Structure formats: C-alpha cells, structure tokens
Structure 1
Amino acid sequence: MPAKPKWERLADHLRAQIESGELAPGDKLPSTKELCEQHDVSAITVHQAIFKLRNDGLIEGVQGVGVFVAERT
C-alpha cells in the first residue's frame, strides 16, 4: 500500500487531536506558518489538510481571524 500524501497525514493528525479532545470545539488551530514548522511541510500541504477538514465539518475558518475547531452537532 503506498504511503499517504503529507497533507492526508497532517489532516489525520489534526483529526485525531480533535477527536481526542486535545483540540476542543472553539479552539484556534495553529497558523499555517506554525503548522508548516511543526510538521516540516509546505503551506500548500497545510492548506490541503485544512480544506479536507473543513469539508468534513471538523473546522471552520473566520476570515482574517483564523481556523477554529467546529462545534460538534
């Protein structure tokens, strides 16, 4: 089985943090720059992971403010 792309591994990591409660609803995710540095990935990789999690309803972005863990329904 081929290795997962970096963006998918990052999305899985953030998803696990959200599901475990380490990142709770309303918590702000680290900035793109911080995620790049923490995970040794490019900004494009971070944006792809964020896009996936947003589509899955786990996070939501607020223009000019940041990306936050969505409230659970």
Structure 2
Amino acid sequence: MPPNAKWVDLAAHIRKQIASGELSPGAKLPSTSQLCAEHKVSAIVVRNAMIALKAEGLVVGVPGVGVFVVDPNEEQG
C-alpha cells in the first residue's frame, strides 16, 4: 500500500489534536512556518491540509489573523 500524501498525514494529525481536545474550540493553530518546521513539510503541504480541514468544517481561516478551531456549538455563517 503506498504511503499517504504528506498533507493527508498532517490533516489527520491536526484532526486528532482537535478530537482529543489538545486543540480546543477557538484555539489558534500554529502558523504555516511553524507547522512546516515542526512537521518538516513544505508550505503547500500545510496549505492543502488546511483546505481539507476547512472543507470538513473543523477550522476557519481569518485573513491576516490565523486559522482557528471551530466551536461545533456555534453557528457558522
């Protein structure tokens, strides 16, 4: 079985952190550069992982501010 794409693994890692409560609702995710350094991946890998997590409704991006964990109890809109 071929290995997962790096962005798939990164998204799974962040998803697990959200599910476990390590990243709680409203928490700001590390910056792209921090995630690149921590996981030894490129910025495009981080970008693709964020796209996937946003599509799943787990995180929301605020331009110029950062990416935050969505509170499942709050109305998004």
How high is the TM-score relative to the length of structure 2? 0.93
Q: For residues 7-41 of structure 1, what are the alpha-carbon distances to aligned partners after superposition, in whole Å with 9 as ceiling and x for unaligned? A: 00000000000000000000000000000000000
Alignment partner, residue 56 of structure 1: 56
Q: CA RMSD in A?
A: 0.6
Aligned length: 73
Matched letter for residue 47 of structure 1: R
Alignment partner, residue 37 of structure 1: 37
Which runs of 5 or more residues in structure 2 are unaligned?
A: none
- Runs of 4+ deviating beyond 2 Å: none
Alignment partner, residue 9 of structure 1: 9
Which runs of 5 or more residues in structure 1 are unaligned?
A: none
Alignment partner, residue 27 of structure 2: 27
Percent identity of equivalent pairs: 56
How high is the TM-score relative to the length of structure 1? 0.98
